[in-house]
Amino acid sequence: MKHFIIGTAGHVDHGKTVLVKALTGKDTDRLKEEKERGISIELGFAPFKLPSGIMAGVVDVPGHERFIKNMLAGVGGMDMVLLVVAADEGIMPQTREHMDIINLLQISEGIIVLTKTDLVDPEWLDMVKEEVHELVKDTTLENALIAEVSAVTGQGIPQLTNLIDQVAGKLKERSVSGNARMAVDRIFTITGFGTVVTGTLAEGRLYVGDNVEILPDQIQARVRGLQVHGKKVELAEAGQRVAVNIAGIEREKIDRGSVLAVPGFLKPSHRLDVRLHLLSSADKPLINRARVRVHIGTSEILARVILLESEEMEPGDSALIQLECEEPMVAARGDRLVIRSYSPMRTIAGGTVIDPLPSKHKRMNSQIIETLKTKEKGSPEELLVQYMAASGQVLHLREDLQKGTALDEQVFEDIVHSLIASGQIRSFQGDKKTYFILGTIFRQKAAEMETSLRKFHQTYPLRHGTSKEEIRSRYFTGLTSKLFNFLLEEYQQEGIIKVVGENIALAGFEPSPPQAQAEMFRQIEETYLKSGYQTPGWEEISTRYKLKPTEAEEILGYFLVKLVLVRLEDGILIHRDNLEKAREKVVSFLREKGEMTLAEARDLFGTSRKYALPIMSYFDREKVTRRVEDKRVLY
């Protein structure tokens, strides 16, 4: 299912919060000061169910210039933006700054919403539209549609809702195959539960029970619980607003700007290599070592701009730079950031992270600049990983990968070795062929299987596991049974699962009766053990213990699989210890006498023909005895 975030943008008092309430029914202003002053100060959040059934998250940002820092903490996670312009005021200073930020972050899907249209006449509205067209010219929202609404009267709200639904249909889903990470925008404590952090999951999946790391302090924690849109879930996916209840960490150890991620995935750094674009509207050039405010994710950090190619950047220029941060920064390659001047605070530039963990560079060094340009385009390793991720396949043949990436054979061999060593890809043999799988996909599928098997074992504690075909059809639809078996062997060697015949179970799982039923199981086994060779039928046992048909079938299956009971034929079961005693008696008799009639077997067991015949037939099948006319001899 597609998950995405809608965000607002626009000048203070242009009706963003009122618009969100008209769309979602929720007032996102939650602070007392916000209610008293009638303006948004902090980020607000609301769930929004669209006509198509998609549940989106809405982030409402403050519009006042004093709270641009808070606005930037919310805008980075947006997939779609509603640029709000009040029809009675038109374009205002923060409208322009918010539009600059949208453009710098390359948010390409959005709608321009003209609010308060009930307060103006058609001629004035047309003039505002012209202003808007001029504002968005040559920006990511140049082709955005314009909606005219009045949140107070409700005019245009249904049409805007449908328009949002249409734009949502064009959005590309975020990757759930990557490593989970989330920039934290709120932190609070709930009595009895502990620390809760919220944010937009940028990529990957989070499961209850996952181990996570809080960066930049690299504090280890565990996911105790998850909520999406106020509902408890076992799994959260990229593109969702998520509340994470974390165990093992106090609220004071986390700040807005912290990043929750898979352990070891991200590393804090005091430097970032960046491709920077200085706004053409910047009032002066950007000089080397200028002190700036860097906004990335939900964090704001002071830094120095190290210009690697020149002494200064003119407005409208693009250049390679290195940011020297005054505090540790957490980022990934490809992340976008916004830069504001130190004082006065104005948005002046934006860029894309090329290397989140660089060493210190010499300026004006042609070799360093060429290396950065190569990194910007993507290294051979990145090319291979991107090709595997974009293919949509789980497993890849070596020859297909080399052909698809068009890499030189030796280069391909070198990077494959490097990627395997770093854990980014895995390889294994099957049918005399070499297969590769992305490390993120391998771990994601492992997590999916573990969750599914854990639930199965809880529901069916007496079964050895779920069928291989069930897991294949649910999580590995693109794999043949043969390829799936090759991959299962890898998971088994990792100690994640075990294969039991045609079933799969968690590695450490053994079927066992629930504690509440343990005594009943003991009594049933004792009944069969004491009954010797004249055993009760299973229907009798089911009636005695008032078992429902499905429950009786589960329990019988458990006894048969564990070989506590052996089915001789339909309706006749025997305890394995009694069957072994019968075998010893038959073998001893035949060694002495040479042959045995059914009547002699009946007398030997002290039972009737009804039970003696199934026992002897079983020994015939097991090649203990062999029937010769109406007698048995040793096989």
Per-residue model confidence as pLDDT tens digits over 253-266: 899 899 999 888 78
Mean pLDDT of 528-551: 91
Residue 341 three-state SS: strand
Residue 29's pLDDT is what? 58
319, pLDDT greater than 90: yes
Mean pLDDT of 498-508: 92
| Selection from 440, 569, 511, 536 nearest residue 178 by Cα | 440
Q: Could you report the per-residue pLDDT of 230-254, keeping only the tens digit for each?
A: 899 999 998 899 999 999 888 888 9
- Selection from 40-54, 148-162, 391-405 with the highest mean pLDDT: 148-162
Residue 403's pLDDT is what? 76
Instruction: Specify whether the CB–CB gap between 439 and 446 falls below 8 A.
Output: no
What CA–CA distance (Å, rounded) separates 456 from 235? 16
pLDDT above 70 covers a percentage of the chain that reads: 95
Residue 31's pLDDT is what? 46
Which residues, in sequence order, are CB contacts of 47 under 8 Å at separation 6+? 24, 26, 55, 56, 57, 58, 229, 230, 241
What CA–CA distance (Å, rounded) separates 304 from 285? 15
What CA–CA distance (Å, rounded) separates 265 from 180? 9
Mean pLDDT of 35-48: 63
360 is written with which tokens?
A: 């210190």
Alpha helices in 476-634 (DSSP H): 481-493, 518-530, 538-544, 549-561, 576-593, 598-605, 609-621
Strand pairing class (110-115; 80-86): parallel
Neighbours of 128 (CB within 10 A): 21
Residue 410's pLDDT is what? 77
Mean pLDDT of 49-63: 82
Q: Could you report the per-residue pLDDT of 170-195, keeping only the tens digit for each?
A: 888 777 766 889 999 889 888 888 89
Residue type at 380 in one-letter notation: P
What CA–CA distance (Å, rounded) separates 39 from 66? 12
Answer left, alpha or beta for residue 204, where phi above 0 means left and psi between -120 and 50 means alpha.
left
Distance of CA 565 to the CA centre of its chain: 44
Q: Which helix (H) or strand (E) holds 372?
A: helix 366-377
33, pLDDT greater than 60: no
Q: Could you report the per-residue pLDDT of 591-600, keeping only the tens digit for each?
A: 999 999 999 9
Residue 299's pLDDT is what? 92
37, pLDDT greater than 50: no
Answer left, alpha or beta for residue 119, where phi above 0 means left and psi between -120 and 50 means alpha.
alpha
- Predicted TM-score of the model (pTM): 0.63
335 is written with which tokens?
A: 């992340």
| Selection from 293, 390, 382 nearest residue 346 by Cα | 293
Mean pLDDT of 274-292: 95
356 preceded by a cis bond (ω within 30 of 0):
no
Mean pLDDT of 448-474: 91
Cβ-in-10-Å burial (0-12, 13-18, 19+) of 621 comes to exposed
Q: Which helix (H) or strand (E) holds 93?
A: helix 93-104
30, pLDDT greater than 70: no
380, pLDDT greater than 60: yes
Residue 184's pLDDT is what? 93
What CA–CA distance (Å, rounded) separates 72 from 42? 11
CA-based angle 190:193:197, to the nearest 5?
Answer: 65
32, pLDDT greater than 70: no
Mean pLDDT of 83-105: 92
DSSP state of 311: S
Name the more confident of 287 and 298: 287
Report the DSSP beta bridge partners of residue 206: 236
Residue 39's pLDDT is what? 44
Instruction: Specify whether the CB–CB gap between 111 and 147 falls below 8 A.
Output: yes
Report how far apart, in Å, the C-alpha atoms of 529 and of each of 169, 466, 566, 575, 612 are. Answer: 65, 30, 12, 6, 17
| Selection from 447, 437, 445 nearest residue 475 by Cα | 445
**370 falls in which pLDDT band (50, 70, 90)?**
confident
Greatest Cα-to-Cα distance within the chain, rounded to the nearest angstrom: 117
Cβ-in-10-Å burial (0-12, 13-18, 19+) of 266 comes to buried
Which residues, in sequence order, are CB contacts of 11 under 8 Å at separation 6+? 63, 84, 85, 86, 89, 92, 93, 94, 95, 98
Which residues, in sequence order, are CB contacts of 238 under 8 Å at separation 6+? 3, 173, 174, 175, 176, 178, 180, 201, 202, 203, 204, 205
Mean pLDDT of 136-158: 93
pLDDT above 90 covers a percentage of the chain that reads: 58
**36 falls in which pLDDT band (50, 70, 90)?**
very low
Residue 42's pLDDT is what? 58
332, pLDDT greater than 90: no
Name the more confident of 577 and 66: 577
Which residues, in sequence order, are CB contacts of 268 under 8 Å at separation 6+? 215, 216, 218, 328, 329, 330
62, pLDDT greater than 80: no
DSSP 160-184: HHHHHHHHHTTPPPPPSSS--EEEE
DSSP state of 265: T
Q: What integer best gives the mean pLDDT of the chain?
A: 89
Residue 619's pLDDT is what? 94
At 263, phi and psi to the nearest 5? -55, 130
Per-residue burial over 496-532, b = 16 or more CB atoms within 10 Å of its CB, e = otherwise: bbbeeeebbbbeebebebeeebeebbeebbeebbeeb
Strand pairing class (299-307; 219-228): unpaired
Residue type at 296 in one-letter notation: I
Which residue has tokens 């010769």?
628
What CA–CA distance (Å, rounded) separates 212 from 261? 6
Mean pLDDT of 104-122: 93
Q: Which helix (H) or strand (E) holds 322?
A: strand 318-329
78, pLDDT greater than 80: yes
Residue 64's pLDDT is what? 54
Residue 430's pLDDT is what? 85
**All structural domains of the chain:** 5-168 (3.40.50.300), 181-261 (2.40.30.10), 269-377 (2.40.30.10), 390-395+419-511 (1.10.10.10), 515-634 (1.10.10.10)
What CA–CA distance (Å, rounded) separates 259 from 218? 9
